[in-house]
Structure 1
Amino acid sequence: MLLEFAKNLANFAASSGKKHAVVLSSLDFGRWQKIDMSSGPQIYYLSTTNPDGTDDYCEQLGYKRLQEYNPSQRCWKYLDAVVEENAMQDKSFPFEDEPEEEDFYPSLPFASLFSSFKAKGLKVTCLFCYCSEGDNIPDAFLLAEAARKFLGLNLDNSHGDESTRWLIPCSWKTVYGPPPDLSIF
């Protein structure tokens, strides 16, 4: 169903005349290979600008390419073939066997969107940040700021930290229940 959704969304975007899709996604912090907190929060990207997933503009912004992307890896090739509707009935793509480590990223939702938009001839840029379980609201602000910076949007109408620049959905206020009763302290 995920692939069908991604293909339908790509069809809609292409038929609407869109030329560039930006996908925001979190990634599992437990899979983060190279932790370098000295340069602050890190945003990763994947782009169709070049076949290897690189994009000079993203690099200029300080974003790092998702190192785990390998377009010649079997699952990425298979995903591309499926969304291009050239699904190969080849035994070199057996998904009945045990998945390998390199199969993890192509199995995520962003990968279906990436491949589907690419198959429709749209430019695609995926922006990522690694998140751990729990309160991911700061990570959401980090991705929102990365998207704002990438798109060149200006938020002159407000000042302060990220949480005061963005309209926060009401549902976020109760994600972890109501605030504690301060009279108990």
Structure 2
Amino acid sequence: MFITSQNATPVFKDFTLVLPAVAVGNVGQLAVDLLISTLNLPRVGFLHTDCLIPMAGNNPYTTGKDDADELHTAAEVFAAPELKLAVLQLRAPIVKRKSRCFRQLLLSWIKASGFSRAVVLSSSHAYQRDDQQLQGTPLRYLVTPSLQKCIGDAFKDLGWIEMERMPICPGRLDAEAEEPRLYVPGGGITKGLYIDSCTEDVPLAVLLIFCSEGDNVPDALALVNHMDDWLHLLDNPNREPKWKIPTSWNLLFGSGIPPALF
């Protein structure tokens, strides 16, 4: 599944892996873009799988003409050995009916590579929140039992809110008698990957934000700042993190209105 782009296969033993879920607003992918661009992470390989819709394009993190024509694909891995950090960027949706297969491939790679933990950046439909989720911050987290043993009360100490469980049919009279279940509408593989990680004893955390489609740059900044409160990847403790906007974001909303229309 993983194919290196270097002379030697990189070693990810005890690394932290950060990856996005292709979800509403593409917030996780935008947040990963900020992480790769700001830390100037080099590409070390890519994932080859038929579970993703194939795509290719120019370098989204180009800094000049020298690297602008580099070919980039649907699933690429970037790494910073000095930070013990690897980042997987996904740029294409999962092929219909191959979600389970892709989740299993991901978890197999995570376990085989020896990652110490995985962090999934995701999002969920804001309009499907219940009453308790309308209060306070739109940021939530999920953590598997395996990772919970390692970090203890770290998330509670940060004041984070765990993703609430809800009854299947909240409006029914007997809804309170139902066992609450995890519900992540618009989250793509988020829920399935979390449940699979719990089952397979994979140390994994999900950080997500409630959002709507539109200009999701502020959501991405909020999510990546939220993650950095925990991981401390930016070395500027006395001020808010300053994230570097990738070159590809210049055309995030198209190239503008052609003057010839007027």
Tell me by how many angstroms 1:104 deviates.
Answer: 4.7
Following the alignment from structure 1 to structure 2, what is the Cα–Cα distance between the partners of residues 42 and 10? 28
TM-score, length-scaled by structure 2: 0.47
For 1:81-120, what aligned pairs fall within 5 Å after superposition? 104-105=183-184, 108-120=188-200
In the alignment, what sits opposite 1:43?
139
Q: 1:27·1:128 contact (CA, 8 Å) conserved in 2? A: yes
Q: Once the two structures are aligned, what percentage of the paired residues are identical? A: 26
Change in Cα spacing, 1:22 to 1:69, as seen in structure 2 (3 Å) is: farther
Deviates more, 1:118-127 or 1:139-148: 118-127
Root mean square deviation of aligned Cα: 3.4
TM-score, length-scaled by structure 1: 0.64
Aligned length: 144
For 1:123-142, what aligned pairs fall within 5 Å after superposition? 123-142=203-222
Larger helix fraction of residues: 1
Following the alignment from structure 2 to structure 1, what is the Cα–Cα distance between the partners of residues 138 and 157? 14
Tell me by how many angstroms 1:69 deviates.
Answer: 6.5
Whether 2:95 is the aligned partner of 1:18: answer no
Change in Cα spacing, 1:133 to 1:143, as seen in structure 2 (3 Å) is: same
Change in Cα spacing, 1:13 to 1:26, as seen in structure 2 (3 Å) is: same
Whether 2:240 is the aligned partner of 1:143: answer no
Q: Highest relative contact order (Cα 8 Å, sep 6+), 1 or 2?
A: 1
Larger strand fraction of residues: 2
Q: Deviations over 1:126-156 (max 9, x none)?
A: 1111011210000001111111112133332
In the alignment, what sits opposite 1:166?
243
> Which 5+ residue runs of structure 2 have no aligned equivalent?
1-97, 169-179
Whether 2:88 is the aligned partner of 1:8: answer no
> Which 5+ residue runs of structure 1 have no aligned equivalent?
74-100
1:60 to 152, 157, 162: 157
Change in Cα spacing, 1:178 to 1:158, as seen in structure 2 (3 Å) is: farther
Q: 1:44·1:65 contact (CA, 8 Å) conserved in 2? A: yes
